[in-house]
Structure 1
Amino acid sequence: MTKTLISIMGPTAIGKTSLSIKLANHYNTEIISADSRQFYKEMSIGTAAPTPTELATAKHHFIHHKSIEDKYSVGAFEKDATTLLNILFKTHDTVIMVGGSGLYVDAVSKGLDNFPDIDSSIRENLNNQLEAEGLEKLQKKLKILDVETYNTIALDNPQRVIRALEVCMGTGKPYASFLNKNKEKRPFKTITIGLAANRDIIYNRINQRVDVMMKEGLLDEVIKLQNKQHLNALNTVGYKELFKYLEGEWTLDFAISEIKKNSRRFAKRQLTWFRKNEAIKWFDYEDDFMSITDYISQKK
């Protein structure tokens, strides 16, 4: 029988966690998280990680299994996740994967892209430029060299911007031109489900989620991490804005409004990334659960 990975995608705050748990219970299986910030055990509230109750409802993997002190790349995740899938598929015909990090989702379902070796001095120079002139200048350079990548990657993540730029500068070709070429075929079928809503609903859900996070103690979580804010894992929406409040640069109300704004921008980038994937079957976030399982049954 064909082994099947059911991948749940969609913008932040759309209801992916809830659907993944329903599907895991329906198929009596386990869940792989492909959310690159929920990996970190110190970041719970601000990443909207599954609650202890949700974690107890279905077996999850790659939730809080790393520290923000650890270096953990998409390549390492791909290796760990595919190794785990080989194990899970020995006892399950179906496994669920859920996450809003498009690069990490694609790494598991499609494999990683192959890039040529790049002169290390290019990255060194870009890192020096980041330190001296800030991220915005690098973002503008990327927009000139590769607007497609500029419109899809996490622009607030300096490592992603620098990686794209070093490929553009080292090869003379857009970073995007190396994507989706000659990938190894996976030994399982992937059925990809997308959850959607109109923009106003998505934005309202994001705003409400941020308010809930603040009530649940996000500020206290960030205070405990303040002396670690230089770490890449904490260059994340919800954390970096509150660091500015704690340093006296912003008022708390303004920091919260910036979290909401940056979360909405992140959702927009997620949707831009997902729209490139023609294999996604989109459902409204309020669609009946059985309509989703019926579709999965037809595709299996």
Structure 2
Amino acid sequence: MRWRGRRGSRNIEDRRGRGLTGRTAGIGGAGAVLIVVVGAFLGVDLTPLLQGSAPQSRQSAPVTEADQEAAEFVSVALADTEEIWTAIFEQQLERSYDPAVLVLFKGVTQSPCGGASGASGPFYCPLDEKVYLDTAFFTTLSQRLGAGGDFAAAYVVAHEVAHHVQNELGILGETQRIRAQVSEVESNAISVRTELQADCFSGVWARYARDDLGTLEPGDISEAMNAAKQIGDDTLQRNAGQAPQPHTFSHGTSAQRQAWFSRGYETGAVDACDTFKTASL
């Protein structure tokens, strides 16, 4: 991905280097490590599963040169999403796009949706319309999940911004309303469709990045497809030493995530990403 020397976004809230007084779990040993690792894999905050929490002051780690480079990359990737989704909203939806703010942090921070930490992974909070991202996650993505490359990282940013797009279109609010009224299994099934649509929207973004911005390089789409594979629910559960349990899936299988990203990339059309009306994912 051609990103160096390009325009960055102004919608960055940099919280790195700040300390935070929060609550940490009293559980220790392998159980705590597993919860943190699986949370980072799934992109969800599993810290509420840790019982017996106690107040503790946490200080953010120093911002390194690698952190700063990652921040500059994120700023450019976010700027690309802003330019692309503004065009898509105008051309395909005949409406205006209001960009999300991306919060950069290192270590821990707070959001209206709950605590953000290395265990939570990147996430979008619809309550304040912000994406939360610890730049250290890119190291996890590359070294622990096996999804290296700058476009794999850009795919992560694009996926979280896609949730903001869903929020702008009223999709996210409706799915959250329904999920609060159904069983856990049904809620998980709706979550899968929501996440796969975000993958499809990410593919639409990638198509515009190729055609309109000319920023894609050879191998970029392969990096995104590999990332989609590595963070599929079935792959993550196998890598955590578990047999895949479809009723617990919240993001979709590796094959599904790849297929919906590909659909968005091949069509470049938002209306091709309606995961809620298809019988087969």
**Could you say which TM-score interval applies, normalised by the shorter chain?**
under 0.3
TM-score calculated relative to the size of structure 2: 0.28
Higher-Rg structure is 1
TM-score calculated relative to the size of structure 1: 0.26
Higher relative contact order (CA 8 A, sep 6+): 1
